[in-house]
Structure 1
C-alpha cells in the first residue's frame, strides 16, 4: 500500500554565529611562509596557512627554504576544547541558517505552513472516508453471504463452496481496508507531528523579524 509522502524538517537549536579565528600569517621579518604538522593518521602536512588541526597538534614554522624557524607546542586541552566548541556552534548556526532559508522559500509564514498541513490532513481524511464507505459495503456483502450459509445449514444442506469462498474473500478485504484506514490515521498524526516544529520555527522567525530595528 502506497503511503502518503510527508515533509520532514527537523528544527535545531539556534546558536549565534561565531567568527572563525583568523589564521596566523607568516612573520615578514623572519621570512616564514609555511607551517608543518603531523596529521592524526601520521602523515606530514605542509600549508601556507595555519589550520586548526595544526594548532591542536603542534607545528613547525618553516622559511621558504624549508628550514625550521620555530616549533610551537600543541594547544592546551582546554583551548582545543574551546575551539572545537566554537567550531561546532558555528557549524550548527550555519545549518540553522540554511534551514531557515529553505523554510522561507517554502512558506510565506506560519499561517502558510498551517494551511499546507491542513491540506495534507484533509487529503488523508478524504481517503479514510472512502475506505470507510468501502468497509461498510464489504461488511454488508459478507453478512449477506453469512445469512445464505445459515439458511443452507438450517435447511440441512451443505454450505456451497462459492458462499464459503465469498465469506473468506470479504473477510480478507475487510481486514485490508481496516489496515488501510489505520495507516491513514497514523499518517495524519505523522503530518501533524512533522509540521509542529516547522510552524514553531516560522513563528520564531516572524517574531524576530517584527522585533528587529528598522535601519
Structure 2
C-alpha cells in the first residue's frame, strides 16, 4: 500500500504540475483536483498541494464530474512526513540562530567578555546601593539619638526628626529592594549567556 501511494505521488508530481492528462483518444484534457484546504474549506485547483496528496483528494474533469477518489496516505506515513518537516524547520531555525550568534560574537570568549561586562555593571550598582545603605543607617542613627535626647529631656520629638527617621528608613528599604533586583538580574544574565557560550563552543569545535 505504501509503495502504491509513493508511486502515485511521483506520478502526480509530474501530471499535476499543469493539471493535464491524456484521454483515450490521445487528446490532452484539463484535470482538476478537489481537496480540503488547511482552513477546512473545499478547494478546487489545477494543481495539488503536498498536504492534499497526503490527506486525500478527488480528480475531476472539466465538467466537475468525479473521475477518481484518492484515499489519504496511511497515518504512519503522514506522521513520518510531519516529523521530517518539523526536523527540517528546526534545523533551519537553528541555522538562523547560529548565524545571529556569529554576527554578535566572534567566539565563546567574546560572549564571556560581554557577560562579564554586564555582571560587573550590575555589581557596581549593588556596591553603590550598599554604600548608600551604610550612609543612610548612620544618618538614621543620628536622628534616633536626637529623638532619644529630646525624650530624656522631657521635650517633644521634633517633627523634622521623626520625618528624617522615617525617610532614611524608607530609603534603606528601597536600596535593599534594588540590591535584590540587581542580584536577580545577575542570575538572569548568567542563565541567558550559558547556552549562548556553550553553543559558540560547539560551533568552534566543529
Tell me if TM exceeds 0.5.
yes
- Give the Cα separation in 1 of the matches to 2:15 and 2:63: 14
Q: C-alpha deviations, 1:15-65, integer Å up to 9, x for none?
A: xxxxxx988231665356543212354422234443232023211234567
Q: Which has the higher helix share?
A: 2
Give the C-alpha shift of residue 150 in structure 1.
1.0
In the other structure, the counterpart of 1:90 is: 88
- Aligned equivalent of 1:25, options 3, 7, 14: 14
- Please say if residues 113 and 199 of structure 1, whose CA atoms lie closer than 8 Å, have aligned partners that are also in contact: yes
How many residues in Structure 1 have an aligned counterpart in Structure 2?
188
Q: CA deviation at 1:82?
A: 0.8
Instruction: Mark the runs of 5 or more structure 2 residues left unpaired by the alignment.
Output: 1-8, 23-27
Equivalent residue for 2:101, pick from 97, 100, 103: 103
Report what 1:44 is aligned to. Answer: 42
TM-score relative to the length of structure 2 = 0.82
Matching of residues 114-129 of structure 1 within 5 Å: 114-129=112-127
- What does 1:24-173 correspond to in 2, within 5 Å? 24-26=13-15, 30=22, 31=28, 34-39=32-37, 41-62=39-60, 68-173=66-171
**How many Å apart are 1:165 and its aligned residue?**
0.8
Cross-structure match for 1:18? none
- What is the match of residue 204 of structure 1? 202
Of structures 1 and 2, the one scoring higher in RCO (CA 8 A, sep 6+) is: 1
Deviations 1:133-179 (A, max 9, x none): 11111111001001111111111212111111110011100000110
1:111 aligned counterpart, secondary structure: helix
Distance apart, 1:109 and its partner CA: 0.7
**Could you tell me how far apart the structure 1 residues matched to 2:99 and 2:89 are?**
15
Answer with 183-192 or 150-159: which moved more. Answer: 150-159
Partner of residue 190 from structure 1, selected from 164, 188, 191: 188
C-alpha displacement of 1:67: 5.4
Normalised to the residue count of structure 1, the TM-score between the two structures is 0.79
Larger Rg: 2
Alpha-carbon distance, 1:90 to partner: 1.0
- Pick closer, same or farther for the CA change 1:106–1:64 going to 2, 3 Å: farther
Q: Alignment RMSD, CA only? A: 2.2
State the distance in 2 between where 1:42 and 1:185 align: 51
Distance 1:62 1:26, change over 3 A: farther
